[in-house]
Homo-oligomer: A and B are copies of this chain.
Amino acid sequence: MTDLELLKELVAFEQYGTLSATAEHLMITQPSVTRGMKKLEQELGVALFNREVNRITLNETGKLAAKKAKELLQAEQDFTEAVINFGHMQEYINVGGVIPGPILYLENLKDKVSQSLTFNHQLVKPENVVSDLINYKERLIFTDQEILDNDEIESMFLGVEKLAVKISEFNPLSTHTSVSYKDLEGQSFLVVNDIGSWKEIIRDNIPNAKFLFQEDLNSLDELTQYSNFPVFRTNLTQVIENHNEDNGRKLVPIKDNNNYIEVYGTYLTSQRSTVQPLLKEIAKNWPQDYNEKK
């Protein structure tokens, strides 16, 4: 059985060209690499190198071996990652989302639904949804569409997330019972950075708007308190907000048609038994409207 460490050395040698450079990059000594490559040849029973007196290069077989070794090492890494992720998944329910709303909402809801399970949350790029699921990096990802790419993956519709703005009482717009994107033209908004797909929606719909992105949620809260910039809320974030401090702002729904994102729970079919009960609970408690108080 071939030792993968030796394949690693082979691949490194292909990259660095000399045994000494290989050794240096792998943080071992040259003699170690010399021995390793000889052992590899011995084990395979074929020559991989052309040896001149102080020069050693890959022969054709060696080049092929290096190329295939790279693939094999990648497969090994994938194996390890999958097993480790799966193992962790037994302890935690890792939850991701292409938008933050449902994740925050679940965080708020979890006392009611979690049975001594710990949740981990993270924003996921849409292009990583499938791979994060099949590599067991996440057990559940909130997506803005059904995922049909893969037989092992299924989605369950949960509800929609609708956009609203919170507007300072000093801003004339705060007197409206609802506003359109057009009404918001030219305003400057305070926005948290990781809002996923919402970013394109607000950017594309509100003419000449300026967005002051802030990475940290707490800092944003502070800025919100000490400024009059309008901020965004949704039916999902509204429910979890502290209602005592409304920061002198009034919540105004957006009335345009494209003010919402559909939210699906997407997961591996093999995880259905653990995920579906959770999703049903979420769907049951889904906040339908801004005015609805819990």
Interface residues of A in 65-112 (CB under 8 A from B): 65, 68-69, 71-72, 75-76, 79-80, 82-84, 86-88, 90
Contact A76 B83, CB 8 Å, known A46-B88, A90-B60:
no
Contact stretch, chosen from A2-10, A163-171, A240-248? A2-10
A44 within 8 Å of B (CB atoms): yes
Q: How far is the CA of A44 from the CA of B86 in the complex (A)?
A: 11
CB contact between A1 and one of B8, B65, B68, B83 (< 8 Å): that residue = B8
CB distance from A95 to the nearest CB of B (A): 19
Q: How far is the CA of A75 from the CA of B112 in the complex (A)?
A: 46
Number of this chain's copies in the complex: 2
Q: Which residues of B contact A82 (CB under 8 A)?
A: 64, 68
CB contact between A83 and one of B5, B44, B80 (< 8 Å): that residue = B44
Given contacts A1-B76, A46-B84, could you give 4 more A-B pairs where the C-beta distance is less than 8 Å? A44-B84, A60-B86, A64-B82, A72-B75
Q: Is the interface of A mostly helix, strand, loop or mixed?
A: helix
- A74: nearest residue on chain B (CB-CB)? B75
Q: Which residues of B contact A64 (CB under 8 A)?
A: 82-83, 86
Q: Which residues of B contact A83 (CB under 8 A)?
A: 44, 46, 61, 64-65, 68
CB distance from A133 to the nearest CB of B (A): 14
We find that the number of chain A residues with CB closer than 8 angstroms to chain B is 31
In the complex, per-residue mask of A25-60: 1 if CB is within 8 Å of any chain B CB, else 0: 000000000000000000011111000000000011
CB contact between A61 and one of B5, B8, B86 (< 8 Å): that residue = B86
CB distance from A57 to the nearest CB of B (A): 15
Q: How far is the CA of A86 from the CA of B47 in the complex (A)?
A: 10
CB distance from A120 to the nearest CB of B (A): 15
Q: How far is the CA of A76 from the CA of B3 in the complex (A)?
A: 10
B76 touching A72, Cβ below 8 Å: yes
Interface residues of A in 250-292 (CB under 8 A from B): none
Contact A76 B46, CB 8 Å, known A64-B86, A83-B61, A83-B68:
no
Q: How far is the CA of A88 from the CA of B45 in the complex (A)?
A: 9
B75 touching A87, Cβ below 8 Å: no
